[in-house]
Amino acid sequence: MAKISDYELLQQIGSGSYAIVHKAINKKTREFCAIKVMERKKFLEKNRMQQLIDEIAILKKLEHRYIVKMLDFGWDNQNIYIITELCDTSLHCVIKKRPLREKSVRLYIRMLAEALKYLRENNISHFDLKPHNILLKREKCSSLYVLKVADFGFASMVEDELEEQSILKGSYLYMAPEIVNYRTYNAKADLWSIGCILYECLFGRAPYSSQTIEELLEKIQNCQKIDIPSNIKISPECEDLLSRLLKHDPEERITFQDFFNHDFVDMKHSPNDENMERAIQIMTRAVEEDKKQNYQQAYYLYCEGLTYFVPLIDAEIGPKKAALREKASNYLRRAEEIKHSILYQSARISNNTLPSSTINTVQKALEPSQLYKTLYDKCYSNEQLRNGLEIGISAEYYAYEKKFETSLETYKRCLSILVPLLNKEQDIERKKLLHKQIEQWMKEAESIKSILETQKNIVETSADEKNSNSHCVIS
């Protein structure tokens, strides 16, 4: 147990109804920390004391990069103290300056999702997620900030995510409607709060921002529709996640698993050592297939590898970021080169260039497949199906012409026609062929998407470096 006399309290850095937070320094180690100071008399009520005991018990068992670390705790005759690592600022302070770009928001939401996944794996629900409780800490010897979930004062052990709670918890502005309206809620209340955080990061205010508490409660009680501002452009993936998080009915709200798997969060490609190794392995295979002149397979591998490289670039700074971006640029160039059957003598990946004698081989590999031709011939009596297939082949041509955005949108239009038709198809042979073609075009669409995201990332990170203001740096 810590002795408060071992610490020197410095300036106050935060306050709430039951606590004041000070920056402090350990007199022996000279290391900085944060100390949450709580007056004992405020916790005389049984439920409040139990709440504090639960908070300390939960903090003691948590160890995760994106959760604030408790170093120690203690008490004296007047106060109770919780000592944690010191962070630099909060998401609330950052948003107050200006809304964040979607690219930055995605980084933070992914970190928050990693923390939330860890909490769910340990049967813990936070119940007070808000920008004030999302701290940011600068990485050592860098200007990169990582997110740290803090303040577990309302947290509870909830083994079953559908297990119902009834005690009023959280802050009204970020509190799920079912807590306010029915006093009956479960772990999915945290997902509503994440939707509010995502909304505020993008638009600079919470969904139900109000002048008075009465106005706020009226909006919550009436389940007032949440409008997404039209003056700030966000991606379809981001908008989809927002709308699914901010469902008033918890049964309609996105599930934890779907949140973790959502395209915007994209935890599969989280920037970590394991995915760095995976990216290198995929690109090594891509280069090997390229050397063997298995160009179609090489193309898909290059595109798959790029989906891991983009988050890795986002999470790095300085020389390492530049080196990763350069590698991604080369892989991207090679993928485009193969896709369009174009020879660029200057393009080299691992000292491997495409010999001019094999251009025809590449062109042949990228021609419409026999699968497409066979399927198209079998659709003479189904005009809608033929139309969908024709749209799909036009998406391929747009890709060859480097019109990637048009190609991706065309693929989406094609698949929106073909997927419903697949479910209705009665002819067994035609259904089998159609299923294969849809799978192939889905793969093509994902590859085009990875090319577009890499192009955008490279342009944006280059611009950030020129402006000496990386999106990972809080100014």
Binding residues for ATP: 36
Q: What share of the chain is helix, strand, coil (3-state, %, to 5)?
A: 55, 10, 35
Binding positions are: 36
Token pair for 255: 């599930």
Task: Tell me whether residue 151 is one of the annotated catalytic residues.
Answer: no
Between CA 294 and CA 380 the distance in angstroms is 33
Phi and psi at residue 212, in whole multiples of 5°?
-135, 160
Strand 7-15's sheet: what is its strand order? 7-15, 20-26, 32-39, 79-84, 70-75
Give the Å distances, CA to CA, from 362 to 26, 335, 339, 365.
Answer: 65, 12, 8, 5
CA–CA dist 99, 104 (Å, integer) = 10
| Active-site residue, selected from the candidate residues 6, 76, 128, 464 | 128
Choose among 239, 244, 263: nearest CA to 254: 244
Inter-residue long-range contacts of 300-303, CB under 8 Å, 24+ positions, other chains counted: 300/443, 300/447, 302/331, 302/332, 302/334, 302/335, 302/338, 303/335, 303/446, 303/447, 303/450, 303/451
Phi/psi for 83 (5° steps) reads: -105, 125
Instruction: Provide the terminal-to-terminal Cα distance of the chain, rounded to the nearest Å.
Output: 38
Rg of the chain over all Cα atoms, to the nearest angstrom: 27
Q: How far apart are CA 444 and CA 436, in angstroms?
A: 12
Which stretches of 230-335 are assigned E, i.e. beta strand? none
Q: For 40, which DSSP code?
A: G
- Is the torsion defined by CA of 117, 122, 128, 131 positive or negative? negative
**Is the Cβ–Cβ distance between 108 and 201 less than 8 Å?**
yes
The structure tokens 């901010």 sit at 246
Residues 275 and 267 sit within 8 Å (Cβ to Cβ) = no
Query: Bridge partners of 145?
Result: 138
- Give, for 237, the enclosing helix (H) or strand (E): helix 236-245
What CA–CA distance (Å, rounded) separates 51 from 337?
61
CB-CB neighbours of 12 under 10 Å: 11
User: What letter would DSSP give residue 145?
Assistant: E
The residues annotated as belonging to the active site are: 128
